[in-house]
Amino acid sequence: MKTSRRDFIKASAVAGAGFLVASGNFRKQARASALESVAVAGVGVGGKGGGDITHAGYYGKVVALCDVDTNTLEGKHKEFKDAKTFVDYRDMYAEMMDKIDAVTVGTPDHMHAIITAAAIKAGKHVYTQKPLTRTIYEARWLGELAKKHGVCTQMGNQGSVDDGLRKTAAQYRAGVVGEVKEVHVWTNRPIWPQDKNRTMTLDRFIKKTHAEVEDEEEANELIEEKKREIAKALKTVNWDAWIGVAPKREFWPGDYHSFKWRGWWDFGTGALGDMACHNVNMIFKAVDLRNPTSVCAKSSGHDFDSFPASSTTEFEFPANDWRGPIKFVWYDAAQTPPAELTSKYGFDKVDGGGGCFVIGDKGAGLGNDFRAEGGKKIDPIPEDQTEFVIAPIDDQGRGDDARHKFEWFNAIWDNKPDLCWSNFPNHAGPLTETILLGNLSIWTAAEGQGEKVEWDAKNLKVTNLADLKTPHVADLVKPVYQNGYDPIDELF
């Protein structure tokens, strides 16, 4: 017999489950004492990684910086003049590991796990950008390591500290729309290139140029110009260090570094991996949207090198101890749920940029707008009847992105790993496992309609692998690291 939702919430609160604790205001000053200073190193210090190490510098002392791009590294070094600089994280760890307490990781997805794992094994606290890892097994690995070593961890879905997101999660968990039956989540991503036949090499460029430019002298000059561009780029980018654990491939200007790597299977996780850590975050916490049993996708097609331009993915989640089964549908490339579905509850327009639509047996919600069939508003459950955790608030009034690091530092200062909403064992790892399962079926959707992938979440195994016609599905569960990097630990 299923436990009632309210009884489950009360029991979980007593047990200190992390999400379900009494409301309270965790407002506190950042600690400035040198005795309490946390020494931080940043790996990948451009883009989001650059913001992460800057924010870490508000609350700790930045002592080391690492980036494969020396231009990026020099730029960030101007901000932290006393920090030592490195191009390869392995060199930084070899020299500085005994001098650092915490690490931020803001590299492309394919390097998250190995850099993070090495830090955790050395007993360091880690803030790693989302998605936590490129593959499912790596996410479980980091969660297990964090739990084993007792370190404080946080994944970079910074909206987690937003009061509105947390209150909305508490509303759905307390039953504002009844027992949740369906969840529909969407995004306007990808906003980076994803599609077939994207790979460019110098040889391919030469052939293409000669085929398209009639004047041979002009064609040769274009080719020499491209060679000079490549040579110039490689003076400041350590391509071998950038490739890291991934299969070797030829550098091409602008196609990988510094942003377009997201659309390649070897390096990124596509729109689903990039945005679901944000857009699914709230409802994942609210209804324990973990351990799906199957997934099936359809896409615009892909070539097993670059992700498809668009995809739709449906997950099936079994009942757990306190709720029934849930269907979850993901839409990317600005696709949205069917209008007849949302309009049934009075939502005639939805924002194509992204959203979360939740259907329960008593109504539906679009974010924190709750309605019954026909569009009648449903009043929120009084907050004192929900369990809502407020994130620590820095009295300096910094925004949510910095506040997310402040939550991480509070966990470090107080030695309370579970204080972080997106800690690896309880939230970030299982969330990443869930969303990356979708990529297994997207992989099978090279010609449009993908195969249904049956999943054993406990043992991280595709149970119908022998029946799938698409090869290499299991490679997206657990990768084999290339180029001499240490292999992944065996969990089973």
User: What are the pLDDT digits (tens) for 46-63?
Assistant: 999 999 999 999 999 999
CATH 3.30.360 residue ranges of the chain are 175-194+265-380+430-476
Residues 153-182 have a mean pLDDT of 98
Cβ of 318: how many Cβ atoms within 10 Å?
Answer: 12
pTM of the model: 0.94
Q: Given the DSSP bridges, would you call strands 364-366 and 354-360 parallel, antiparallel or unpaired? A: antiparallel
CA–CA distance, 299 with 458 (Å, rounded to integer): 28
Q: How many other CB atoms are there within 10 angstroms of residue 228's CB atom?
A: 10
Strand positions, DSSP E, 149-208: 153-155, 180-187
Tens of pLDDT, residues 288-307? 999 999 999 999 999 999 99
Looking at residue 269, its pLDDT comes to 98
Helix (H, G, I), strand (E, B) or coil at 20: coil
Cα–chain center distance at 457: 19
Residue-level pLDDT at 40: 98
pLDDT of residue 13: 39
21 — pLDDT class (breaks 50, 70, 90)? very low
- DSSP code at position 62: E
- DSSP assignment of 284-351 equals HHHHT----SEEEEEES---SSB--S-EEEEEEE---SSS--EEEEEE-TT----HHHHHTTT-----
Confidence of residue 340 (pLDDT cuts 50, 70, 90): very high
For residues 424-442, average pLDDT: 98
Instruction: Determine the average pLDDT of the residues in 331-356.
Output: 96
Tokens of 50: 């650059």
**Which whole number is the average pLDDT over 129-158?**
98
Q: Could you give the count of Cα atoms lying within 13 Å of 126 in the half-sphere of its Cβ?
A: 32
Residue tagged 């306007």 (tokens) = 188
CB atoms near residue 179 (< 10 Å): 16
Map residue 126 onto helix, strand or coil: strand
- Residue 309: predicted pLDDT: 97
**Class at the top of the CATH hierarchy for domain 12-161+391-427:** alpha beta
- 205 vs 215: CA distance, rounded Å: 16
DSSP state of 471: T
Using one digit for the tens of pLDDT, what is the confidence trace for 261-285? 999 999 999 999 999 999 999 999 9
Percent helix, strand and coil across the chain, each to the nearest 5:
40, 15, 40
Q: State the span(s) of the chain assigned CATH 3.40.50.720.
A: 12-161+391-427
Name residue, tokens 């490195």.
86
Q: How confident is the model at residue 492 (pLDDT cuts 50, 70, 90)?
A: confident
pLDDT of 35: 42
In 3-state terms, what secondary structure has residue 119? Answer: helix
| 313: pLDDT strictly greater than 60 | yes
Q: Does residue 36 carry a pLDDT above 90? A: no
**Listed residue (345, 359, 376, 74) closest to 236, CA to CA:** 74
Residues 101-130 have a mean pLDDT of 98
**CATH code for the structural domain at 175-194+265-380+430-476:** 3.30.360
What pLDDT does residue 28 have? 61
Residue type, 180: V
Place of tokens 């370190």: 151
pLDDT score for 464 = 98
Q: Please tell me the predicted confidence (pLDDT) of residue 255.
A: 96
Q: How far apart are CA 309 and CA 313, in angstroms?
A: 14
Distance between alpha carbon 213 and the CA centroid of its chain, in Å? 43
Sign of the torsion formed by the C-alpha atoms of 428, 432, 433 and 435: positive
pLDDT grade, residue 397 (50/70/90)? confident
439 to each of 245, 281, 384, how far by Cα in Å? 20, 17, 39
Average pLDDT of the chain, as a whole number:
93
| Residue 17 reports pLDDT greater than 80 | no
Q: What is the pLDDT of residue 328?
A: 98
**pLDDT-based confidence at residue 391 (cuts at 50, 70, 90):** very high
